[in-house]
Amino acid sequence: MSVLVYTESEGGKFKKTAFEVASYAKEVATILGTTVTAVSINGGDSSELGSYGVDKVLQVTNDKLATFNAKAYANTIKQAVEKDGAEVVVVSSTTDSKFLAPLLSVHLNAGYASNVVALPESASPFKVKRTAFTNKAFNITEISTDVKVIGLSNNAFGLRENSGSAEAEVFEPSLVDADFDIEVTAVDKATDKVSIADAEIVVSGGRGLKGPENWAMIEELADVLGAATACSKPVSDMGWRPHGEHVGQTGKPVASNLYIAIGVSGAIQHLAGINASKVKVVINNDPEAPFFKAADYGVVGDAFEVVPKLIEKLKEFKSNNA
């Protein structure tokens, strides 16, 4: 028995979410009185996982798995689970992990709870808390299968340092040709920008910015903060910004540490999508905007005056705290 965690990497380095799921897996293992095994596919330096409590790392190195393939990755993780006799499998909420988790669950005949935000409430029966109704509520989900798959919500648990031996072991899954049924022909990814899923800070603009030509200050603010940029639904519908930036109920969910909404009124669907963010700041010239009811900090004022000032103050702050 063990807790198995899939630690995702990109370009041979572990993603931040890998350390978060490892931290979570360690705490689950403590509750269950067992150890943590990570499975790493063409991943980073295994010893890094030790700092978050991983005891053993099953290292897969295989050129066929150089790019993400949901079926082949799910199959690899499944074989790792079986080899290790894991009872609980933890994955993150990245797009790729959410892609492979349902496939993995079927292979393992395991109940799957996605968007989990806390440690299990009880181990027997196994109950976890997850978000539902697009962050308007939580539910406690009981998983009754022998093996359980948990999808941990990004930024829900944070990083917890721990010591583990992270003993590396070469793991060679048997890959089947049938899993390579999808051929990736092009990848279009801004490598110099922080993605909304990975970002600790997200800066979001709404219709109040009046037009796409006014986004330079949003991007500058994001740049100063090392943040990702996002937008409200009307902004993406009008084509001011790409769809990938649309956050809200039908767009991307945001679970950042800090969410700054500029010129966003705060429709219920928008608020639902960003509700999991820890600290919310609103800048809007309409004091009646619903966002003020959902925010922690608010500035009533013209974005075109407030944002440049904020950029300036943040730059000062940064140079003083560098």
Residues 123-142 that bind another protein (CB under 8 A): 127, 129, 131-142
DSSP 8-class letter at 27: H
Q: Scan residues 8-37 and list those touching another protein (CB under 8 A).
A: none
One residue of 31, 66, 176, 268 binding another protein per CB under 8 A: 268
Which x/- pattern, by CB under 8 A, does the window 209-248 give for another protein?
----------------x-------x---x-----xx-x--
Rounded Cα gap, residues 319 and 181, in angstroms:
51
120 touches another protein by CB under 8 A: no
- In whole angstroms, give the CA distance from residue 253 to residue 240: 20
**Residue 289 binds another protein (CB under 8 A):** no
Give dist(CA 134, CA 200) in Å, integer: 20
Closest to 31 (Cα-Cα) out of 140, 118, 135: 118
The answer to whether residue 202 forms part of the interface with another protein (CB under 8 A) is: no
Minimum distance of another protein from residue 129's CB (angstroms): 8
Specify the residue, 217 or 272, whose C-beta has the smaller distance to another protein. Answer: 272
Between 186 and 216, whose beta carbon lies closer to another protein?
186
| Nearer CB in complex with another protein: 57/77 | 77
Is residue 146 helix, strand or coil? coil
CB of 167 to another protein, least distance (A): 30
Distance separating the N- and C-terminal Cα atoms of the chain: 46
Q: How many residues bind another protein (CB under 8 A)?
A: 96
Q: Which residues pair with 151 in a beta bridge?
A: 91
Rounded CA separation 295/131 (Å): 19
- Write the DSSP string, 62-87: -GGGSS--HHHHHHHHHHHHHHHTEE
Distance, in Å, from the CA atom of 266 to the CA atom of 278, rounded to the nearest integer, reads: 16
Answer for which of 11, 33, 63, 181 binds another protein (CB under 8 A) is 181
CB of 47 to another protein, least distance (A): 25
Q: Which CB sits closer to another protein, 102 or 212? A: 102
Q: Pick from 143, 162, 147: which is nearest to 1 by CA?
A: 147
Which of the stretches 81-89, 104-112, 157-165, 214-222 binds another protein when contact is defined by CB under 8 A? 104-112
Q: Find the shortest distance in angstroms from Cβ 285 to another protein.
A: 9
From the list 26-34, 50-58, 210-218, 291-299, the region that binds another protein by CB under 8 A is 291-299
Distance CA 190, CA 316 (A): 28
Binder of another protein out of 22, 91, 143, 261 (CB under 8 A) = 143
| Pairing relationship of beta strands 56-60 and 167-170 according to DSSP bridges | parallel
Residue located via tokens 């300036």: 312
The piece of 22-30, 58-66, 101-109, 168-176 that touches another protein (CB under 8 A) is 101-109
Q: Tell me the HSE value of 78 on the side-chain side, using a 13 A CA sphere.
A: 19
Tell me whether residue 39 or residue 149 sits nearer to another protein (CB atom).
149
CB of 234 to another protein, least distance (A): 9
